[in-house]
Amino acid sequence: MARTILIAGNWKLNPADDAGALELLRQLKNRLAPFTRTEVAVMPPFTMLHLAAQILKDSRLALGAQNLYWEATGAFTGEISAPMLKAAGCKYVIIGHSERRQLFGETDATVARKIPAALQAGLVPVVCVGETLEQRESGQAQAVVHEQVRQALSGLPEAALRTLVIAYEPVWAIGTGRNATPEQAQEMHRFIRDLITDTTSAAVADELRILYGGSVKPDNARDLLGRPDIDGALVGGASLKAETFAAIVESGEIVS
């Protein structure tokens, strides 16, 4: 098993303007140039994608978006399609982030429609799953994640599943500074991988990457990334500073 570690920076609704994005991209390009073993992606807001694609075109950094709509064109005010993201230079797209589920009404059903649209356009979906604090405390964490994964992946062909990325992001750890312990994360990642073995095959489960997300920082990254079933990180807050993001990528290099 040799899954390449993926460190992805989810910029969310940041930075405030193109000038900030430009500065961050230039710094990242410089700082990350020496790292060759991990794969790195940045996921800026939609309006900054073209700018980012230009800056990153001769670098190892890949580009990703934070959301998409499943139709390619049509009367869907405010939406962005998978082919548009592909044309803008994206390789990855986040689907079903918990902020979209909690604040913008996304459900397992909408997530399940978005994944095939992304795949059809040649994008790699980064599918987010994870339980709330209430669900964890009531012993429902695995059941919740099981159902999210089942609905997201059902009906997808095996070839598609191999390329897909899952991000386990416990909702209680996102932006809170409270990360899952490496043991808790490893346990859930193993659970997800076993689930995929049961529903598809061991070969697919072995290939598919499962990222951890939720308050990943330079001081916890190495321990998390060193666990056998943690294949990378989806980083929010700490991806907005070149220094902290590069330190997380460096942790990935060390354990690779």
Catalytic residues: 97, 169
Binding residue for ligand PGA, selected from 63, 124, 216, 249, defined by CB under 6 A: 216
- List the one residue from 237, 245, 248, 250 that touches ligand PGA (CB under 6 A): 237
Q: Report how many helices (DSSP H) and strands (DSSP E) the chain contains, helices first.
A: 12, 8
Distance CA 207, CA 144 (A): 23
b/e per residue 15-32 (b: at least 16 CB within 10 A) = beeeeebbebbeebbebb
Residue with the closest Cβ to ligand PGA? 236
Q: Whole-number minimum distance, CB 235 to ligand PGA, in Å?
A: 5
d(CA 170, CA 66): 18
Contact partners, residue 28, CB within 8 Å, separation at least 6:
42, 61, 242, 245, 246
Of the candidates 64, 213, 232, 252, which one interacts with ligand PGA according to CB under 6 A? 213
Contact between 121 and ligand PGA (CB under 6 A)?
no
| Interface mask toward ligand PGA for 40-79; x: CB under 6 A | ----------------------------------------
CB closer to ligand PGA out of 204 and 246: 246
Stretch that binds ligand PGA, among 73-81, 136-144, 211-219, 248-256 (CB under 6 A): 211-219
Residues 182 and 223: their CA atoms lie apart, in Å, by 6
- Least Å distance, CB 238 to ligand PGA, is 6
Q: Provide the minimum distance between the beta carbon of 216 and ligand PGA in the complex, in angstroms, as a whole number.
A: 5
Q: In angstroms, rounded to a whole number, what is the distance separating the alpha carbons of residues 194 and 142? A: 12
Tokens representing 62?
């890949």
Burial label, 185 (beta-carbon count in 10 A; 0-12, 13-18, 19+): buried
Longest dimension (CA), the chain: 49
- Give the x-and-dash track for 158-187 against ligand PGA (CB under 6 A): -----------x----xx------------
List contacts with ligand PGA (CB under 6 A): 10, 169, 174-175, 213-216, 234-238
